[in-house]
Every structure is written in C-alpha cells, then in structure tokens.
C-alpha cells in the first residue's frame, strides 16, 4: 500500500457586484435586483483530486492520496456614485458594507469549518465512500449556510439593513423608504 498523503486548501478570492443609484436606497435596490438578489455573496466551489490503488484482494480501489481545493469567492458591492454622496451617506454606506462583510465572512467560516482537513477523511476509503464523504460534506455546508441566512435574516440581524440618510434640506421619509428597513442582502 502506498503512503497516505494529501492536503485541504481553502482559496479565497474577491469579486465585486456593481450597482448604480442616485441615493443609497436606489443603489441597494439595484444591487438586490441583480443575480442572486443579494447585495453580497459567497460562492463555495469544492473540488477533489484523488489517487487510488487496487486493494490486495482486488475487490476495491482505495484512496491513498487526496487533495481538496475549496474556492471561496466573496462578492461585495461597489456603488458607482458613492464619491458623489455627502458625508452622512458615505458613513451609512461604510457601516452597511462593514456589516455585510461580517455576514459574508460568516459564510466563509462555516465552509472553512466544514471542509477542514477533509482530505484526511478520504484517505484509506474506497472511491465510492470517498465520493459520499465529499458530497455529504458539501451538502452539510450548504445546509449550514442556509440555516445561517435564516437565523440572521440574510444579515439583517447583523446590521445590514440601510437607514435613510439626509444630506440637504429635503426630508427623507421612513414610510417612503421602507425598502431600506428590511432589505435582504
């Protein structure tokens, strides 16, 4: 039997979601109307590469080397008109962005925990058992991420809701801008 070896690597990548809007409400609305309907996201893409040998009794192929690569792509928003906004709006955007970043990092933490040392669980297993362990791990990570989103209301309980901010003499009405209070991100 060959020596067992392998690695599990988490590769973190960053991406952006661009939105336009004359005010923060419009920017958030435009963000959440794109793609996944969220202002930010994390995409988890796990892959495995295994090497096998034939068991001595010729009954099964056994994994002796397993390399797992989990690519985590965090997409965060870019508001194209941010530089044109007054200081209170910029501060609200920065607060929102920080809360969203915390929420998305929570997804990455869930995946890191789920996939930690996964290669070790594959070593010495039959190819079908290794496939099941890999697929079950990915499915559980997805379930845990869905639970996290439900528990945090997609980050709203972590502060990702946006508060209407006023720059000039015009009044910003909470009732006109209710989308901010419960925008899922």
Residue 145 has pLDDT above 90, yes or no: yes
Alpha helices in 8-126 (DSSP H): 24-32, 87-115, 118-122
**How much is the pLDDT for 170?**
57
Residues 6+ apart with CB under 8 A from 139: none
Label residue 149 exposed, middle or buried (CB < 10 Å: 0-12, 13-18, 19+): middle
State mean pLDDT over 141-149: 98
- Res 89 pLDDT > 80: yes
Mean pLDDT rounded to a whole number for the chain = 90
Burial of 4 (0-12, 13-18, 19+ CB in 10 A): middle
Residue 135 vs residue 36, higher pLDDT: 135
Residue 33, pLDDT above cutoff 60 = yes
DSSP state of 117: T
Query: Measuring CA to CA, which residue among 68, 85, 61, 76 is closest to residue 137?
Result: 68
Q: What percent of the chain shows pLDDT beyond 90?
A: 76
Sign of torsion over alpha carbons 77, 144, 64, 120: positive
| Higher per-residue pLDDT: 10 or 4 | 10
Q: Which residue has the higher pLDDT, 44 or 174?
A: 44
Q: Of 184, 179, 129, which is closest to residue 156 (Cα–Cα)? A: 184
pLDDT at 181: 43
* pLDDT tens figures, 51-77: 999 877 778 899 999 999 999 999 999
The pLDDT score that the predictor gives to residue 116 is: 98
Has residue 36 got a pLDDT over 90? Answer: no
Whether the predicted pLDDT of 171 surpasses 70: no
In this predicted structure, the answer to whether residue 45 has a pLDDT above a threshold of 90 is yes
Instruction: Give the pLDDT mean for 71-100.
Output: 97
CA–CA distance from 124 to each of 44, 60, 154 (Å)? 26, 11, 39
């Amino acid at each position: 039997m060959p020596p067992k070896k392998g690695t599990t690597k988490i590769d973190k990548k960053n991406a952006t979601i661009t939105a336009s809007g004359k005010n923060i409400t419009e920017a958030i609305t435009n963000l959440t109307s794109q793609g996944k309907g969220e202002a930010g996201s994390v995409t988890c893409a796990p892959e495995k590469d295994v090497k096998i040998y034939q068991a001595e009794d010729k009954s099964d192929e056994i994994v002796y080397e397993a390399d797992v690569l989990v690519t985590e792509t965090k997409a965060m928003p870019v508001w194209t008109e941010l530089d044109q906004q007054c200081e209170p709006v910029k501060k609200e955007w920065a607060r929102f962005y920080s809360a969203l970043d915390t929420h998305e990092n929570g997804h990455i933490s869930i995946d890191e925990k789920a996939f930690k040392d996964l290669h070790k669980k594959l070593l010495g297993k039959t190819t079908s058992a290794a496939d099941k362990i890999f697929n079950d791990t990915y499915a559980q990570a997805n379930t845990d991420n869905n639970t996290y989103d439900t528990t945090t209301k997609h980050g709203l309980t972590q502060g990702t809701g946006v508060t209407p901010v006023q720059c000039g003499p015009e009044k910003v009405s909470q009732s006109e801008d209710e989308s901010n209070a419960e925008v899922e991100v």
